[in-house]
């Protein structure tokens, strides 16, 4: 027997409708190529989004057709998000930092029909244009005054595209499982794979991520998404901020520029920001150098890769900013876990509390995790036993777009993340490795991340990566590849000696090699894939 409740569908357009009525005057502030500080309200944003929806309706698109974006975080990109998904099309956010071949691959694979792109990316697409035969037209996210000369198909400025349209438009109603947006993974472990989100998954992810023990989003927050809108929908912030009526501050292409970030934070009174650890590293260094402040900022969400405890302590100690560690994936929309401290965690002695703070956190409601051994059996939640991290929930992918037979989507309904993790009795998960990066010595696993964390805690070491090298007796043994800090000197023996007593003896790297720099992926993550290629054929010194 079913309940007798209304069958209202969870649609992205309902976020738009809610924000317009409930938060009409809240602001969206953007840095764009044509305006150093654009500001308007949610009311204006959604009125323009409806104009765009009317313009889109003339393009002959079918429900489910893909419309791509190649753009930084700003208000026009925000309008495109809502107009495309709200109309029943799929908003495919292309990552401009991917390698050119990858960009060509994903636009063709997605069969994008139209592309909304920032002026700065026009030369890139012109270069790739001949390899993108299915692209029918391009809208450049600017006005006529700033429109570059271009031969891109049917190219015109965004402002001229929407100018003569009416701002009245009835968002269509459809099944909440309808596809809303498409994002490809970062390509850290292989080719990017497409994740096709639905309206339902997007709205549920919003609810969960806005909760007090998650991002704690409200109308009183001023939010700076430093994570790009082409990166898992800027972690959902363009949706969740509109849902709760938080003021949004979009840094445009100035994402990596600490000076801009600091001035945006100060001038717009930003309270909450989200981004990868390198953003916070850059910001802290800039604040140290200039003595500038970020007084309104109370907490930042850090995800995408592990954040060092030292960085957390620095931001807390010097700037009273709480770093909230989070874990997620393109496949998880992305929020999986958030490191909120529970009352029990807060009651622990400082050392054990710090150990928890460094963990990737606890699941938000809706996400379920388990850690399994090689036979698929769940391992104890003892904080020590590690294994393959598996996840399920209404905003977790059930497959990749136009791909079949990926065995990461397991037959019992769980998604195998490719991460290796432990979970402690209080529910805090910690990523210890990626499955592909784990080092298997004599049948036992060594965490490459733990070795790296230890190495970078050494005052002379700037960066470090541990990879597995085949070994005649132990199958695999760890090799540590390290970059020294400018001017620092350290010998191989000293660094190896430094590990003694800090990890089990058999975890100590077999050897250390110093290099000038480590290879990065297109999205700035350490590329162990490339590093392993560099060290193919490497042999440990005898003895």
Ligand X SMILES: Nc1ncnc2c1ncn2[C@@H]1O[C@H](COP(=O)(O)OP(=O)(O)OP(=O)(O)O)[C@@H](O)[C@H]1O
Quote the least distance from Cβ 14 to its own copies, whole Å: 8
Number of residues that bind Mg ion (CB under 5 A): 1
Indicate which of its own copies, ligand X, Mg ion, none lies near residue 235 (CB less than 5 to 8 Å, by partner kind): none
> By C-alpha distance, which of 482, 538, 519 is closest to 188?
519
CA–CA separation, 85 vs 135, rounded Å? 19
Q: Is 95 in the site for ligand X (CB under 6 A)?
A: no
Quote the least distance from Cβ 337 to ligand X, whole Å: 8
For the beta carbon of residue 254, count every other beta carbon within 10 angstroms: 18
CA–CA separation, 442 vs 31, rounded Å? 54
> By C-alpha distance, which of 258, 263, 267, 256 is closest to 286?
258
Token duo for residue 384 = 């020590």
Q: Is 427 in the site for its own copies (CB under 8 A)?
A: yes
The dihedral built from the CA positions of residue 250, 252, 257 and 260, taken in this order, carries a sign that is negative
The answer to whether the beta carbons of residues 161 and 139 sit under 8 Å apart is: yes
The dihedral built from the CA positions of residue 480, 486, 492 and 495, taken in this order, carries a sign that is negative
Residue 343 host element (H or E): helix 343-346
Geometric angle at alpha carbon 448, from 420 and 386, rounded to 5°: 30
Residue 13 or 417 with smaller CB distance to ligand X: 417
DSSP code of 133?
T
CA–CA separation, 480 vs 447, rounded Å? 12
From candidates 163, 285, 310, 398, binder to its own copies by CB under 8 A: 398
Quote the least distance from Cβ 252 to its own copies, whole Å: 24
Quote the least distance from Cβ 415 to its own copies, whole Å: 8
Residue 440 is among the residues annotated as catalytic for this protein: yes
Token duo for residue 401 = 């777009």
Indicate which of ligand X, Mg ion, its own copies, none lies near residue 11 (CB less than 5 to 8 Å, by partner kind): none
Residue 187 or 393 with smaller CB distance to ligand X: 187
Catalytic residue among 292, 316, 436, 440: 440
Quote the least distance from Cβ 527 to Mg ion, whole Å: 13
Catalytic residue among 93, 185, 417, 521: 185
The answer to whether the beta carbons of residues 19 and 30 sit under 8 Å apart is: no
Hunting for tokens 């000038």 — which residue is that? 516
Q: Is 525 in the site for ligand X (CB under 6 A)?
A: yes
Indicate which of Mg ion, its own copies, ligand X, none lies near residue 343 (CB less than 5 to 8 Å, by partner kind): its own copies
Q: Is 205 in the site for ligand X (CB under 6 A)?
A: no
Token duo for residue 144 = 């006529």
Q: Is 343 in the site for its own copies (CB under 8 A)?
A: yes
The answer to whether the beta carbons of residues 53 and 87 sit under 8 Å apart is: yes
CA–CA separation, 337 vs 342, rounded Å? 13
Residue 178 is among the residues annotated as catalytic for this protein: no
Are β-strands 90-93 and 461-471 bridged in parallel, bridged antiparallel, or unpaired?
Answer: unpaired
Geometric angle at alpha carbon 137, from 132 and 142, rounded to 5°: 115
> By rule CB under 8 A, what string of x and - marks binding of each residue 142-181 to its own copies?
---------------------------------x-xxxx-
Are β-strands 66-70 and 114-117 bridged in parallel, bridged antiparallel, or unpaired?
Answer: parallel
> By C-alpha distance, which of 248, 58, 78, 235 is closest to 161?
58
Q: Is 399 in the site for its own copies (CB under 8 A)?
A: yes
Residue 180 or 417 with smaller CB distance to ligand X: 417
Q: Give the binding range for Mg ion (CB under 5 A) out of 16-24, 184-192, 256-264, 487-495.
A: 184-192
Indicate which of ligand X, Mg ion, its own copies, none lies near residue 50 (CB less than 5 to 8 Å, by partner kind): none
Q: Is 40 in the site for its own copies (CB under 8 A)?
A: no
Residue 187 or 366 with smaller CB distance to ligand X: 187
Q: Is 305 in the site for ligand X (CB under 6 A)?
A: yes
CA–CA separation, 83 vs 86, rounded Å? 5
Catalytic residue among 331, 452, 476, 510: 331
Q: Give the binding range for Mg ion (CB under 5 A) out of 145-153, 181-189, 359-367, 456-464.
A: 181-189
Quote the least distance from Cβ 328 to ligand X, whole Å: 6
> By rule CB under 6 A, what string of x and - marks binding of each residue 360-389 to ligand X?
x-----------------------------
From candidates 271, 330, 333, 447, binder to ligand X by CB under 6 A: 330
Residue 445 is among the residues annotated as catalytic for this protein: yes
Positions touching ligand X (CB under 6 A) are: 185-190, 192, 303-306, 325-330, 360, 417-419, 431, 434, 525
Residues lying near Mg ion in the complex (CB under 5 A) are found at 185
Indicate which residues carry an active-site annotation.
Answer: 185, 331, 440, 445
């Amino acid at each position: 027997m079913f309940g007798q409740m209304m069958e209202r569908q969870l649609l992205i357009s309902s976020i738009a409708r809610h924000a317009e009525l409930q938060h009409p005057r809240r602001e969206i502030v953007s840095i764009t190529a044509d305006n150093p500080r654009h500001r308007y309200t949610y009311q204006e944003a959604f009125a323009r989004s409806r104009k765009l929806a009317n313009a889109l309706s003339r393009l002959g698109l079918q429900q489910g057709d893909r419309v791509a974006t190649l753009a930084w975080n700003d208000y026009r990109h925000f309008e495109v998000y809502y107009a495309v998904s709200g109309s029943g099309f799929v908003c495919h956010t292309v990552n401009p930092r991917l390698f050119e071949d990858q960009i060509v691959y994903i636009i063709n694979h997605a069969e994008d029909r139209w592309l909304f792109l920032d002026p700065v990316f026009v030369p890139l697409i012109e270069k790739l244009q001949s390899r993108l035969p299915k692209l029918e037209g391009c809208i450049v996210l600017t006005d006529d005054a700033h429109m570059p000369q271009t031969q891109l198909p049917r190219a015109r400025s965004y402002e001229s595209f929407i100018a003569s349209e009416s701002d009245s438009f009835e968002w269509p109603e459809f099944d909440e499982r309808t596809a809303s947006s498409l994002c490809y993974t970062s390509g850290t472990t292989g080719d990017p794979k497409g994740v096709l989100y639905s309206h339902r998954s997007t709205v549920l992810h919003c609810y969960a991520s806005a909760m007090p023990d998650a991002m704690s989003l409200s109308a009183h927050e001023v939010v700076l998404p430093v994570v790009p809108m082409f990166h898992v929908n800027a972690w959902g912030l363009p949706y969740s901020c509109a849902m709760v009526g938080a003021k949004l501050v979009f840094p445009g292409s100035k994402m990596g520029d600490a000076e801009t970030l600091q001035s945006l934070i100060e001038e717009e009174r930003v309270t909450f920001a989200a981004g990868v650890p390198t953003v916070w590293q850059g910001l802290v260094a800039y604040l140290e150098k200039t003595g500038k402040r970020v007084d309104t900022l109370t907490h930042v969400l850090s995800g995408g890769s592990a954040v060092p405890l030292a960085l957390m302590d620095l931001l807390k100690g010097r700037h009273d900013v709480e770093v909230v560690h989070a874990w997620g994936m393109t496949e998880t929309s992305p929020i999986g876990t958030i490191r909120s401290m529970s009352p029990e965690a807060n009651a622990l002695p400082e050392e054990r509390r710090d150990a928890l703070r460094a963990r990737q956190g606890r699941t938000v409601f809706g996400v379920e995790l388990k850690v399994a051994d090689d036979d698929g059996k769940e391992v104890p939640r003892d904080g020590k036993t590690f294994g393959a991290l598996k996840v399920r929930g209404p905003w977790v992918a059930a497959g990749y777009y136009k791909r079949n037979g990926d065995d990461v989507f397991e037959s019992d309904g769980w998604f195998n993340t490719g991460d290796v993790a432990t979970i402690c009795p209080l529910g805090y998960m910690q990523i210890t490795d990626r499955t592909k990066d784990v080092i298997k010595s004599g049948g036992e696993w060594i965490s490459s991340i733990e070795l790296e964390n230890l190495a970078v805690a050494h005052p002379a070491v700037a960066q470090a990566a541990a990879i597995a090298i085949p070994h005649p007796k132990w199958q695999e043994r760890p090799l540590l590849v390290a970059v020294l800090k400018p001017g620092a000197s350290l010998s191989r023996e000293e660094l190896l000696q430094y590990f003694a007593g800090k990890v089990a003896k058999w975890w100590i790297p077999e050897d250390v090699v110093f290099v000038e720099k480590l290879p990065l992926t297109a999205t700035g993550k350490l590329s162990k894939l490339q590093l392993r290629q560099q060290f193919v054929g490497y042999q440990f010194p005898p003895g």
